[in-house]
Amino acid sequence: MKEYDHTEIEKKWQKHWSKKGIYTSKENPKEPKSYVLDMFPYPSGEGLHVGHPKGYIATDIYSRFKKMSGHNVLHPMGWDAFGLPAENYAIKTKTHPRDAVGKNIARYKEQLSGIGFNYDWKREINTTDPGYYKWTQWIFLQMYKKGLAFQSNDPINWCPSCQTGLANEDLDDGKCERCGSVVEKRPMRQWVLRITEYADRLLTDLGNLNWPESIKESQRNWIGKSEGAEISFKTKDSSEIRVFTTRPDTIFGATYLVLSPEHEFIQKNERKISNITEVIQYVEKTKNKTEIERTAVGKEKTGVQLKGITAINPANNEEIPVWIADYVLTSYGTGAIMAVPAHDERDFEFAKKFDLPIREVVVPNIIDQRNPPVAGKKSVERRNIHAIVRDPKTGKYLAIKWPKFNWITFPMGGVEVGESPEVAARREVLEETGFKNLKFVKVIDGQVRAEYFATHKDENRVAYTTAVVFELENHEQAEIDEKEKAQHEVTWIEEKQINYEYMTHAEANFWRDRLPQKFSQYTGVGFLVNSGEFSGKESEQVKKAIVDSVGGKMVTKYKLRDWVFSRQRYWGEPIPLIHCEKCGVVPVPEKDLPVKLPDVKNYAPTGTGESPLAAIEKWVHVKCPTCKGKAKRETNTMPQWAGSCWYYLRYMDPKNKKALVDPKKEKYWAPVDVYVGGAEHATRHLIYARFWHKFLFDIGVVSTIEPFTRLYNVGLILAEDGRKMSKRYGNVINPDDIVATYGADTFRIYEMFMGPFTQASAWDTKSIMGSRRFIERIWRLAEKVKAEGVQPNKKLETLLHATIKKVSADIETFSFNTAVSSLMILSREFEDASEVAVNDFKILLQLLAPFAPHVTDELWTSLGNKKTIHESMWPTFDPAKIVSDTVKIVVQVNGKVRDEFEIGVSAEENEVKERALSRENVIKWLNGAVPKRVIYVKGKLVNIVIE
RNA sequence: GCCCGGAUGGCGGAACUGGUAUACGCGCACGACUUAAAAUCGUGUCCCGAAAGGGUUGUGGGUUCGAUUCCCACUCUGGGCACCA
């Protein structure tokens, strides 16, 4: 047999497949369809490194498998070529972006074709092709007509280096995601898409998607739904301030209001604010801060009171001050909050700094698990104190043992009417322990409500307890009452013993947590106190009633912001609108689409807030389509993400001049069944595309509510040094070199065998030899193959059918690494067999064909097959053949493996157990002991328990 | 801070619904072939131990006849969100 020459074989078959056109897809209602899609690449100037094709290899395998399994497969590829990187690259290399993109695409295609992918290139698309972006513009116009695209002058993120406005999604930690510059806030005219209109649907429809949980979670975080209430606070001079809160139950604790510095209230009430100069200064200062400065973690709170303005808390009619502070954001909720310092960390910090009142209105509630309330007993409400007395000499804490109840408690008792917690605590310490010289340290912020059964009084208690902390000055003790003495004894406990495990108090864990803190505030739910008629009720349950009582309304808010959709750059789709002097904004008539991106000498960004297009007089000045008067084109362009919002639809019908996609074709192919790409697109492409898709569904262009049914994230391939593969580090490995040295088939097998598909792993050129050896083994195996007279080999047959089952299931779940592993095992078994039947070998080749398409086709045709292996039918397995005649039973004694034996599959439980007990080895280990229990797991093991 | 993942030999990793932990591959060691080397093939390879045996899936506990798998606490690590009221 010939030497295995991968270059010759791979070239030959790639040519053959494309000549025969075996990857051309057509609608065929008789066959089930399968739409397998890669996230299309951005053809950058650097070309591919070995990490890029990983996902493409997976979809290639999957789609070949589907095709062999009788599916009609759509597996296309295209180019996402508008946007900043292409433009910046063009500026740098002083070429026109169009030329640069053309060159890069050619290079990418060449690299990809060497790996042997089965794309239907007849359906290739390119987002920068006017025939394509005509429809991107068309979708924008439909959105405009439905009021989903609107102009705004709000301040937006401006990247000073890229010289363009950006969407929220384009920021990474307050910096431009592309170039890392700190973004500024700039008010400027811009086009915005109302994605928030779809927030709720984008959130709820996530539920049914077969996507990685992490991506769904990212999207949920990004959409950021919170339910709360909008409540109006009147001011004394009868204007009003609307606030948004998720905790309306805490309104009785709202001791001041805070507005964002940009809040319109300030301008409108300038004259009433007595310290307006100071206020304006603060507002100006905030304006000049970047987002990063403003939101830095651990930053100290700042703010200014609006003097002369007093608001009224509608819950209790209290007069409260109004402040402005930059910790309140304009763009979320109503841009104003009610501050409840006792139950919100930020408000608490602010209140401490500016010495504003803090009022506790929610207390945590615990039901004493060791001593729960007893049904049917009467219930008594009490105000209690716990005295926490520390002896500074020993660091220990004063406690009391109650032998009769087996209790360990702090000195404790009720608070009498008019008595302060401190006085009550001193009294109890004196009565119960006799210590009289205590130095007051603090009252721990926040009470705790606890429900328990008071055994000694035979009643259920609801206790609101306050803890008071003292230091012992000296050990001088007063005489203790005899009756008290008889009940308990004084003891000292360690600090770490202050917990509910050791002590009787259900409150103990709260005291432990709050004791070392200077201040503590409780942000959880619980029971209301100091809340008028709502006191004593559960906070969660009265939320709505409280909102009603103050005339507010329940509302839902989202963190998701509308999508800033205009860019002041050249290389993007022109926004198809016209500004007419008389008629205002007029859409370009659909028959005039596409609005072609004109050629321009200088396409560098202007930095003026206008795109370079604004300088092209000839292009800009047009007649108004409506009144034929003077008008100008919109000169902003669309962001990079526009074209990728709907490209998966165009593949279904790439040449259609009359429609975005023919509804019949859409019905046949949609939705995408399997979508593969990087996790970095979680909160941009994958949210934007879902948004556009839902819009297209609403206007009847598509028939499904979601575009991508199943999603897999391809795990990164890192460089050999464990870092990201990048030109900067000089650790890039080019797939061309690997294909030349080892062959495409080896390259493909290696990348799939590296580890779980979705997991990142480091490239290791040494390891690739393992995959190469595997292919060579298959190559040599062909020599052993015999057409006739092969003795049946039961063991081989069993393994063969088990492998068909395993490989089929593994490809379906993208577990390529284990599929390859089982094929390796099968090939070893073939090698060990004295002879190999041609039909068995053919099955091995078919199972391997999606992974190593070239070498398997070569061997397949050398066995006399006329059609290529990829047009053959995927083998099926016979479940009866997977079952072998005997099973191996493992025998354990006390859970430790001591023996094993073979027995017929049909053996009954008793038979297996008896056999196990009679084994020599087992008898040795039993050593005369009588088995207490014998456990049998069918067909697997016997565990004999003797102790 | 909150929310998702992950942790298994020298390395990449495998293990079905709780049932023989370390499959498969890399590397390494030894052997065969060779004048020699490479390639190839074969054997071995979790740790301690001469052996018998014992131990081992990040750490500590728990449930179970039996735990990589389930529960609790913790450590490290990757990612998302974060002054979003």
Tell me the mean pLDDT in the region A899-927.
86
pLDDT at site A422: 95
> What letters, b where the CB count within 10 A reaches 16 and e where it falls short, cover A681-714?
bbbbbbbbbbbbbbbbbeeebbebebbbbebbbb
Closest CA to A819 of A733, A713, A748: A748
H helices present in A175-290, as ranges? 199-204, 213-223, 264-268, 276-287
- Please name the nucleotide lying closest to A213, CA to C1': B4
Distances in Å between the Cα of A685 and the Cα atoms of A80, A646, A810, A854 are 12, 10, 28, 34
Residues in chain A: 947
pLDDT at site A435: 94
Residue of least CA–C1' distance to B83: A327
- The pLDDT tens digits for A632-655 are 999 999 999 999 999 999 999 999
Output the distance from A5 CA to B32 C1' rounded to whole Å. Answer: 27
Give the whole-angstrom CA distance, residue A699 versus residue A697.
5
| Band of residue A155 on the pLDDT scale cut at 50, 70, 90 | confident
pLDDT at site A298: 65
Count the alpha carbons within 13 Å of A658 in the hemisphere toward its beta carbon.
Answer: 2
Distance between first and last Cα of chain A = 63
| Band of residue A791 on the pLDDT scale cut at 50, 70, 90 | confident
- The pLDDT tens digits for A203-261 are 999 988 999 888 998 899 899 999 999 999 999 988 999 999 999 999 999 999 999 99
Q: Taking 80 as the threshold, does the pLDDT of residue A607 lie above it?
A: no
DSSP, collapsed to helix, strand or coil, labels residue A892 as: strand
Q: Taking 70 as the threshold, does the pLDDT of residue A751 lie above it?
A: yes
Average pLDDT over chain A reads: 91
pLDDT at site A297: 59
pLDDT at site A18: 92
pLDDT at site A510: 86
* C-beta neighbour count of A607 within 10 angstroms: 12
Give the whole-angstrom CA distance, residue A583 versus residue A627.
7
Residue of least CA–C1' distance to B6: A759
- Please name the nucleotide lying closest to A936, CA to C1': B19
Cα A637 to chain centroid distance, Å, stands at 30
Output the distance from A221 CA to B80 C1' rounded to whole Å. Answer: 7
Output the distance from A713 CA to B79 C1' rounded to whole Å. Answer: 13
Give the whole-angstrom CA distance, residue A58 versus residue A62.
6
Output the distance from A774 CA to B38 C1' rounded to whole Å. Answer: 19
- The pLDDT tens digits for A659-711 are 999 999 999 999 999 999 998 888 899 999 999 999 999 999 999 999 999 99
Tell me the mean pLDDT in the region A474-489.
86
Output the distance from A61 CA to B56 C1' rounded to whole Å. Answer: 38
Residue of least CA–C1' distance to B54: A896
CA geometry: angle A78, A80, A86, nearest 5 deg: 135
Give the whole-angstrom CA distance, residue A830 versus residue A810.
21
pLDDT at site A461: 92
Least confident of A475-484, A592-601, A868-877: A475-484
* C-beta neighbour count of A619 within 10 angstroms: 19
- The pLDDT tens digits for A697-745 are 999 999 999 999 999 999 989 888 878 888 888 888 999 999 999 999 9
Output the distance from A708 CA to B79 C1' rounded to whole Å. Answer: 22
DSSP, collapsed to helix, strand or coil, labels residue A724 as: coil
Give the whole-angstrom CA distance, residue A47 versus residue A104.
7
Amino acid sitting at position A657: K
* Structural element, H or E, at residue A744: helix A744-753
| Band of residue A778 on the pLDDT scale cut at 50, 70, 90 | very high
DSSP, collapsed to helix, strand or coil, labels residue A891 as: strand
- The pLDDT tens digits for A536-578 are 999 989 999 999 999 999 999 999 999 999 999 999 999 999 9
- Please name the nucleotide lying closest to A921, CA to C1': B52
8 A C-beta contact, residue A82 and residue A128? yes
Closest CA to A870 of A21, A156, A85, A281: A21
Higher pLDDT, A899 or A385: A385
A179 Cβ neighbours under 8 A, 6+ residues apart = A159, A161, A162
- Please name the nucleotide lying closest to A291, CA to C1': B83
A476 — alpha (psi -120 to 50), left (phi > 0) or beta?
Answer: beta
| Band of residue A487 on the pLDDT scale cut at 50, 70, 90 | confident
Output the distance from A683 CA to B76 C1' rounded to whole Å. Answer: 28
Cα A335 to chain centroid distance, Å, stands at 27
A123 — alpha (psi -120 to 50), left (phi > 0) or beta?
Answer: alpha
| Band of residue A52 on the pLDDT scale cut at 50, 70, 90 | very high
Tell which strand B nucleotides have any atom below 7 Å from a protein Cβ: 3-5, 11-15, 19-21, 23-27, 40-42, 54-55, 65-67, 78-85
- Please name the nucleotide lying closest to A171, CA to C1': B81
8 A C-beta contact, residue A850 and residue A112? no
pLDDT at site A848: 97
* Torsion angle of the four alpha carbons A85, A87, A93, A97, in this order, in degrees rounded to the nearest 10: 120
| Band of residue A495 on the pLDDT scale cut at 50, 70, 90 | confident
Q: Taking 90 as the threshold, does the pLDDT of residue A395 lie above it?
A: no
- Please name the nucleotide lying closest to A947, CA to C1': B65
CA-CA-CA-CA torsion sign (A75, A77, A83, A88): positive
Output the distance from A334 CA to B13 C1' rounded to whole Å. Answer: 52
- In the structure encoding, which two tokens stand for residue A748, read together? 């493909």
Output the distance from A896 CA to B56 C1' rounded to whole Å. Answer: 14
Residue of least CA–C1' distance to B15: A818
User: Any idea what DSSP says for residue A198?
Assistant: G
pLDDT at site A929: 81
A593 — alpha (psi -120 to 50), left (phi > 0) or beta?
Answer: beta
Higher pLDDT, A17 or A886: A17
- Longest C-alpha distance within chain A, in Å? 109
Output the distance from A882 CA to B68 C1' rounded to whole Å. Answer: 27
Residue pointed to by tokens 């604004």: A614
- The pLDDT tens digits for A289-345 are 877 777 765 678 999 999 999 999 999 999 999 999 999 998 899 999 999 999 998
- Please name the nucleotide lying closest to A895, CA to C1': B66
Output the distance from A746 CA to B40 C1' rounded to whole Å. Answer: 18
> What letters, b where the CB count within 10 A reaches 16 and e where it falls short, cover A278-317?
ebbebbeebeeeebeebeeeeeebbbbbbebbebbbbbbe
H helices present in A550-621, as ranges? 617-620
Residue of least CA–C1' distance to B67: A895
Give the whole-angstrom CA distance, residue A814 versus residue A360.
54
How large a percentage of chain A has pLDDT more than 90? 65
- The pLDDT tens digits for A869-883 are 999 999 999 988 888
- Please name the nucleotide lying closest to A297, CA to C1': B83
| Band of residue A31 on the pLDDT scale cut at 50, 70, 90 | very high
Tell me the mean pLDDT in the region A356-380.
89
Give the whole-angstrom CA distance, residue A444 versus residue A436.
21
Residue of least CA–C1' distance to B23: A821
Least confident of A245-249, A816-820, A873-877, A889-893: A889-893
8 A C-beta contact, residue A331 and residue A268? no
* Torsion angle of the four alpha carbons A204, A210, A213, A217, in this order, in degrees rounded to the nearest 10: -30
DSSP, collapsed to helix, strand or coil, labels residue A688 as: helix
Give the whole-angstrom CA distance, residue A306 versus residue A241.
13
- Please name the nucleotide lying closest to A559, CA to C1': B84
Output the distance from A895 CA to B55 C1' rounded to whole Å. Answer: 15
Give the whole-angstrom CA distance, residue A544 versus residue A730.
61
A518 Cβ neighbours under 8 A, 6+ residues apart = none
Closest CA to A692 of A639, A634, A644, A637: A644
Residue pointed to by tokens 């008290």: A484
Tell me the mean pLDDT in the region A419-425.
95
3-state secondary structure A790-837: CCCCHHHHHHHHHHHHHHHHHHHCCCHHHHHHHHHHHHHHHHHCCCEE
pLDDT at site A287: 84
Q: Which of A47-56, A70-79, A292-301, A827-836 has the highest mean pLDDT?
A: A70-79
pLDDT at site A519: 67
8 A C-beta contact, residue A447 and residue A466? yes
- Please name the nucleotide lying closest to A770, CA to C1': B25
Closest CA to A433 of A498, A393, A360, A489: A489
- Please name the nucleotide lying closest to A218, CA to C1': B80
- The pLDDT tens digits for A619-631 are 999 999 999 999 9
pLDDT at site A721: 82
8 A C-beta contact, residue A233 and residue A241? yes
Tell me the mean pLDDT in the region A788-811.
90
Output the distance from A763 CA to B10 C1' rounded to whole Å. Answer: 18
Tell me the mean pLDDT in the region A820-843.
91
- The pLDDT tens digits for A185-207 are 888 899 999 999 999 999 999 98
The pTM of the full predicted model, rounded to 2 decimals, is: 0.92
Q: Taking 70 as the threshold, does the pLDDT of residue A1 lie above it?
A: no
8 A C-beta contact, residue A23 and residue A76? no
Output the distance from A4 CA to B62 C1' rounded to whole Å. Answer: 58
Give the whole-angstrom CA distance, residue A10 versus residue A854.
5
Decide: residue A551, CB within 10 A, 0-12 exposed, 13-18 middle, 19+ buried.
Answer: exposed
Q: Taking 80 as the threshold, does the pLDDT of residue A609 lie above it?
A: no
| Band of residue A775 on the pLDDT scale cut at 50, 70, 90 | very high
